[in-house]
Structure 1
Amino acid sequence: MAEPRHRLREMEALRALVTTGTTIGAARRLGVSQSSVSRALGQLEQRVGRTLFLRSAGKIEPTAAALRLNEQLDPLFETLALIEGAEWAQADEEPLRLIVPPTLAHNFIITRVAAFLKQNPGKNLQLDIQATDVLVSGILDLRYDLGLTSAMIQRSGVTLVPWLRSHVVCAMPKGHPLEAKEIVTPADLEGVELIEFLRRLGTRAITEQLFARSGVKPRTVAETATNMAALELVREGLGVTVLNPFPVLSVGVPNISVRPFDAHITYDTSFVLPAGRQPSELAQQFMEYIKSTTPADDYSEAV
């Protein structure tokens, strides 16, 4: 019969791997080697008689049994945290480590960070601005407490909390022929110069499938990675683009007209948190502040 402390190490390894999504992240969080994490998980799987993680092509995904067990461990680790006290006792004094992609940062978050800190003197917030892939890896490795993104993320180890849903729009230069339409349809883009997003981005696959189903072939004249870049190309008269209106188009952009696009495409803007961890009190306060200060627009609604 294993000693209780050995069982606790196994549970810690399970929790760390579910939370971080990688053995590297789990080992870093626990301060042990990757082999120690793997050994503890193997012992735990043998003890419970269940496969807890699926390993394929270098990826590790928790099974439903692992997620249920991790949820059942919440009271245990909450009690241990109260006993040890150190991390939670200092939580209010620690800064909120926030990470946001460039478009959301420069067009939405920075002004709200300033306003939030003015309303909460004594609080500290660290804002990093990075691409979404860096955001996800940073949340997984617990280098950040909270992220915000409108990207379509499907990754174990992070929890998405949607708070705003926006409907796809078509943006065009002022004076474009499509400006005369109240709603732009996929058929309207047949042969039209189109600024697309790069193929590595999830939105590109969605629009390509939409055009294929509609039998429509726009004329792609440029591809880019960000909404801001796409809109600058539109403003230069290069063509039209189909994109998420939040946050750039929420208040309008000079020399650009916007029309609803007739397609069932929505974008969720979400808070990103490490899976299995409750947000700190400061993170919860900031999330509520963001939700309460987001202005209404014609293309979005609260989730």
Structure 2
Amino acid sequence: MRENRHIIREYEALRAVLTTGTTIGAARRLGISQPAISRALTQLENRLGRTLFLRISGRIEPTAEALSLNETLDPLFETLSKIDGAEWAHTENKPLSIAASTTIAHCFLLPRLATFLKQDSSRRIQFETQPTEQIVAGVLEFRYDLGLTSAMIQQSGVKLIPWRKSKMVCVMPEGHCLANRDTITTQDLDGVSTVDFVRRLGGRSLTEQIFNRSGVRPNIIVEAATNIAAVELARAGIGVTVLNPFPQLTEPQRGLVILPFESDIEYRTSFVLSADRPPSTQTRNFMRHIKFTTPEDQFSEAI
């Protein structure tokens, strides 16, 4: 029978490769040779009877089995780090770096950051509010462990994990001429004063596509850069706005009428992760916390 210390070394090699993304990086992390890393992975695969990594054009890609095994090993290595202060575990003591879009940050995330921190006094977080393109860039460059956005992203190198979906709504001040409708259609907004988004934002391209298909021309009074600004301008009576209700409109809104907007567009609010680096235990814990503390509302639902 093989000694347990040899099995632990195989698990250490697995986690080091998943963390660094290469066998060279794993070897440097553990202070052993690259062949020793490759040998440990091969021994682990043979012992488990599972393919844990795919070797493709000189690169090593983890399989779903490798990621699942890594999660299963978390309690083992947390215990070992408490016993002998394993150096690899020090990365878990680094602040969790998070970036979120403005609306998610100010209308949803901050109270949940607070409750997450209160659960464990040893936790540390670095938090930034950024536009989606900066969130993606930061995740790609490993400056952020996690991003949160409702934007529709198609970017290689990042992985989106949706946890909430919602449909477009039309927001208007109380007493507006359309406030007695059950649903708002594109035709209802022809010539109507509206608050739209600046052209650099994805929300503007969505509304333009919808209105162009219908031959509708709303009267755009203001172009806003955030959902928060658009809703407040609608509340002030400047015009109606069409947008994603999650998370800003999940609570009762004074002075506003919020109606479904007839559209086939579905928003997905997602976690943004690196496709090349598995999330840390702390990152996964935070994602679970967000999912479990997101209340039900009339405009969105869990995925």
What TM-score do the two structures reach when normalised by structure 1?
Answer: 0.72
Q: How far, CA to CA, are the matches of 2:107 and 2:257 in structure 1?
A: 18
Identify the residue that residue 114 of structure 2 maps to in structure 1: 114
Partner of 2:266: 266
Mapped to 1, the partners of 2:176 and 2:112 lie a distance apart of: 34
Q: Tell me what 1:194 maps to.
A: 194
The alignment partner of 1:177 has SS state of coil
CA apart distance, 1:271:
0.4
- SS of 1:90's equivalent? helix
Segments of 5+ residues of structure 2 without an aligned counterpart are 1-16, 23-27, 29-55, 71-76, 78-84
Of 112-121 and 239-248, more deviation after overlay is shown by 112-121
Letter in 2 for 1:224: A
User: Corresponding residue for 2:171?
Assistant: 171
CA deviation vs aligned residue, 1:249-283 (integer Å, no higher than 9, x gap): 11032211100101111111100111121111111
Shift of 1:68: 8.3
Q: What is the aligned partner in structure 2 of residue 218 from structure 1?
A: 218
Give me the identity figure in percent: 48
Q: Deviations over 1:149-208 (max 9, x none)?
A: 111211111111110001110000111011100111111111111111111112211211
Q: Give, in whole Å, the separation in 1 of the partners of 2:120 and 2:162.
A: 24
Counterparts of 2:283 and 2:230, CA distance in 1: 32
The equivalences for 1:272-287 within 5 A come to 272-287=272-287
Extract unaligned runs of 5+ from structure 1: 1-10, 17-29, 31-64
Q: For residue 232 of structure 1, what is the amino acid of its counterpart?
A: E
Instruction: Name the counterpart of 2:300.
Output: 300
| Corresponding pairs, count | 238
Structure (1 or 2) with the larger CA radius of gyration: 2
Give the deviation of 1:235 after TM superposition: 1.2
Identify the residue that residue 6 of structure 1 maps to in structure 2.
Answer: none
Q: In the TM superposition, what whole-angstrom CA distance separates every residue of 1:28-87 from its partner, at most 9, and x where no partner exists?
A: xx9xxxxxxxxxxxxxxxxxxxxxxxxxxxxxxxxxx77986447x96xx8xxx9xx976
- Matching of residues 1-303 of structure 1 within 5 Å: 70-71=61-62, 88-303=88-303
Distance 1:66 1:202 in 2: 36
Cα RMSD of the aligned pairs, angstroms, is: 2.7
**Distance change in 2, residues 1:148/1:87 (3 Å):** farther
Once residues 165 and 196 of structure 1 are traced to their aligned partners in structure 2, the CA distance between those partners, rounded to angstroms, is: 21
Q: Which stretches of structure 1, 4 residues or more, deviate above 6 A after TM superposition?
A: 65-68
Farther-moved stretch of structure 1 (121-130 vs 228-237): 121-130
**Could you give the per-residue CA deviations for residues 211-261 of structure 1, whole angstroms, max 9, x where no partner exists?**
121121111111111001111111111100000001111103221110010
